[in-house]
Chain A
Amino acid sequence: MATAETLPLTKRVLGGVPARELESAVKLCNPAVPLDPAEDAPLRVDLDAVRGGDRLSRMVRAIHRLGAATSSLHFVSGHIGAGKTTELRRLRAALLALPAATRPTVLMLDATPLVETSDIDLEDILVALWREMLDTDLRTALPVLQELWKKELRSFLVSQATGAPEFMKALLNKLPEAAKDGLSRLADALKFQPLEQRRALRQLIGSLSDVLIRGLNRALEAIRQQAAGPVVLILDNLEKVSAARREVVEHLYMERLRALLDLHAHLIITAPLFLVYSSAGATLTANYGRDPTVLPMVRVSKRYAEGAAPDPEGVAAMAEVLTRRVHFESLFAEKGEAARRIAAASGGSIRHALTMVEAAINEQDEAPITAASVDRAIRLLQEDRERAVPEAWLPHLGAVHRTNRFPADCPAETQREMLRGLVVLEYQNGDPSPYFDVHPLVVRSRRFPQGT
């Protein structure tokens, strides 16, 4: 049953889009809600031209051409709020729109519940993939997995109860015979047990990782025999593990996830942006044979060497993102100019643009929203950005703004935090390599190093 939280964005308001009432406008500007590719199509703006091309379409073509005979692994990255989930949903829709003869089966797994412990490893992902297969109730996969669970996995795990610590003994002795229930019990233990016990359990499950992968491959094979095309597994929100210590994140992506290359499917996995650009980034490409696909910010201003002036095309595209949701002509005194001003101040971050629209609207009880309210909303976000910037970052930020890259003496950890905190933004606009710039609202702040 649809709840308020599963409803597509356009269905959460009365009166259609763009919103002509302030209350509806605020709801449509919730930056945390990704778009449904079908229901929210009126809200989506094609931003490929202003952020370096349609990268995800390249992925669709690659998967389509590789077909069922070959597997692949793709990493997708980008800033928080850049629209990754929205674009992955669109990618799924694009895959499902392929000709029937080659149409893939697509499974999309939200890794958020996995990463809530911020202590995640390969075993958690394998168990989650098993559960996803069982939860989607694919008649072809279920008997395969059920048999393997009963004959190999469960019997091995139960046999390990003897001599095991008490908590593990209690868990293993009571493992259900139904695969779905058994996997749920394991998944819960991996999430809720204290750290040391989680690690012990993970070690035990790790000795079965070959069996787990074999089971998944059998299930994938069964699916392929029923369907024409390959199987695509999308693992969204795994990049949220970036909240953990950097070495934990690097270990997971550089070492452990390599085991997934043995899966006979096309995998698309989200990765933290800092990993793409750290020294570990090059290893990501080397390990997995493919450059990560990055969803950059929309370019709303030119590089410093080009004068750092507003980019009209990018600003117009961002403004359209806003005007698809909110009827600026009737709700804002400055009409479309308000959308353009907000777009320019956003740095190309859709999330920030929506936040400023919401803030401007909430300055007043009634429309039209004045220019002063827009100014205030921009200033609020500017102050918010300023508060996110420690003093020690300022010299590095000055250099980033001038050179559009991180200076050599900027520590990797600092780079990670700057990207993660949306203080530095990444752009790719037809250039062979990405470039970086400081968020325009940070550049405007009084603390920003003068003379840049």
Chain B
Amino acid sequence: MEPVVLDDVLGRLRRVVRRAAGSYGLVRVVTDDAARGAVFDTLRASLAGVGETRFLPTGPEGAAALEATLREQRAPLAALVVPDADALMTFDEGRVLAALNLARDRLGTVVAGPLVLVLSPAGDGALARMAPDLREATLGVVRVEAEPDTEAAVWLEEGISVAEAEAEYARILAADLPDAETVDALLGLGERFRAVVLTNGTSPFLPLLQRVAREAEARARRCVYVRGQANAMVLRACGDAVGAEALLREAIALLDGPGVHVDLIRARAALAFRVADAGALDEGVRLFREEVLPAVEQTRSPPEQLAVGALFYRLLFNHRRYREAAEFALREIVPLARAHHRPVSELHYLSIAASNYVFAGDYARGIALLLDEVLPLARRLHSDDALAHGYLALQRAYANRAGPGDGAKALLYADLARQVLLKLGDDKAAARMDAILRAHDRLARPNRAARRRSARLP
């Protein structure tokens, strides 16, 4: 999935900028690179028609242009946007920023509306140190960050190839850092594909992962870096079907101690997973429910809670406890994602929970979830992937349930899925839907309106 910028956040930006019109006010927009495009689009749209608005260039040219504007502007602008306010910190040792800071109470003569500074999170931190008075004089601040696909971070190799990973491994060794730093760098590399190896049991990354883990462990022992050694052992346990459990127990013994430690929680989660895979499913589930999940809740760290929750979900799913997996996702993961404004994760787990209900034959619950929550959220996030998934699941649910009117609905969703799949370029899946439709002689479009009237539309 592409990074997603929340409509809610952009809506807030629109409101702040629109309501600042007519009277000077400083607006700080703190954004990461992934969301910058959406920010500028929103600013342009919000400021259209307010009067003379100036968007300065980025980089040092922008800083120089701001200085010129402060010095020369006679009639106030309706709005002024500094799209790269980070450059103010560095241009000419922050001189322009200092001038802006000191002139903050008379900026109304330059701008009779919003003065928008677009900053990176690091830039906003620097502003707090370099120009705290200006920062305090902010009318409104909006933070716009694209939400990464949390699930991708857990399950996928993030687009890195084995060759790239090998090169990264070689680069870390060649950097000749002190042992402890090398250990951390190797563990960081290993973490990027540990999850997929752990949950899928195999992967082309597995041999590399073992080499990375062994190298990290050896160096950690050498410099008596106990935590690093333990984490390397946890890494090494991935894909080691024979010795994994003993290795993990040894790592847990090293990590065990007072307080809440993320490393220990991860090690216990890996052990619970291994125990379940070794055939003691109930024991693995018990370890998760009684030890791992309560411990991760104490970290009060949403990313950790989501990552560990995702592992437990996967454990249940892998062992075909679909209904239990769905209920766990809905009861634990979705509320957490929702509370911490992670709609991508929320949508993912709503979708797979719905699919699980359908797998488990609980069609009523699956259909309700898909219609009432999955599809609306997918539309809100403009996620064609999730729409396609939802339509396919609905097609399957109605087709399997085969109640009165379900046949028509199944065809409706087959048609909708086909359209979205074609848009996504998944010709194979689209062809399957095509075949379903053709089999029922419904490929012709004229009766689409009639079908929709008979179906409960999302």
Residue positions of A touching B, CB distance < 8 A? 3-5, 12, 22-23, 26-27, 30-32, 80-81, 110, 112-113, 115-118, 237, 240, 242-243, 351, 355, 358-359, 361-365, 380, 383-384, 387-388, 390, 417, 420-422, 446
Contacts and interface: CB of A to CB of B under 8 A. Distances in A.
Interface string B43-81: 000000000000000000000000000000000100000
B261 interface: no
A30 B108 contact: no
B96 to A, nearest CB: 12
Contact of A365 (B11, B104, B133, B300): B11
Contacts of B12: 362-363
B98 A237 contact: no
A303 B108 CA distance: 39
Interface of B: 11-12, 15-16, 19-20, 22-26, 76, 98-99, 101-106, 108-109, 112, 121, 124-125, 128-129, 131-133, 135-141, 143, 300
Nearest to A79: B136
Given A30-B139, A240-B102, A243-B131, A5 B109 contact: yes
B91 to A, nearest CB: 16
B143 A4 contact: no
B102 A4 contact: no
Contacts of B125: 387-388
A380 B105 contact: no
A216 B300 CA distance: 64
A351 B105 contact: no
7 contacts: A32-B24, A81-B137, A243-B98, A355-B140, A362-B140, A420-B133, A421-B136
Given A380-B143, A420-B133, A30 B15 contact: no
Nearest to A387: B125
Given A26-B19, A81-B137, 13 more contacts: A22-B19, A23-B19, A27-B23, A32-B26, A81-B136, A112-B103, A242-B133, A243-B101, A359-B141, A363-B15, A365-B11, A380-B143, A422-B132
Binding site secondary structure of chain B = helix
8 nearest A-B pairs in the assembled complex, by CB-CB distance: A5-B108, A388-B128, A116-B102, A26-B19, A421-B132, A362-B15, A32-B137, A362-B16
B25 A30 contact: yes
Contacts of B137: 31-32, 80-81, 351
Given A5-B24, A23-B19, A380 B133 contact: no
B20 A243 contact: no
A240 B133 contact: yes
A113 B11 CA distance: 37
Residue of A4, A31, A362 with highest tally of chain B CB at under 10 A: A362
Contacts of B99: 116
B132 A355 contact: no
A115 B140 contact: no
Contacts of B98: 118, 243
Contact of B136 (A112, A351, A364): A351
A56 to B, nearest CB: 20
B26 A112 contact: no
Contacts of A387: 121, 124-125, 128
Contacts of A380: 141, 143
B320 to A, nearest CB: 39
Contacts of B25: 30, 32
A26 B20 CA distance: 8
A387 B23 CA distance: 28
Contacts of B76: 3-5
Contacts of B138: 31, 355
Given A27-B22, A383-B143, A113 B133 contact: no
Contact of A80 (B102, B133, B140): B133
A22 B20 CA distance: 12
Contacts of A110: 105
B22 A4 contact: yes
Nearest to A239: B133
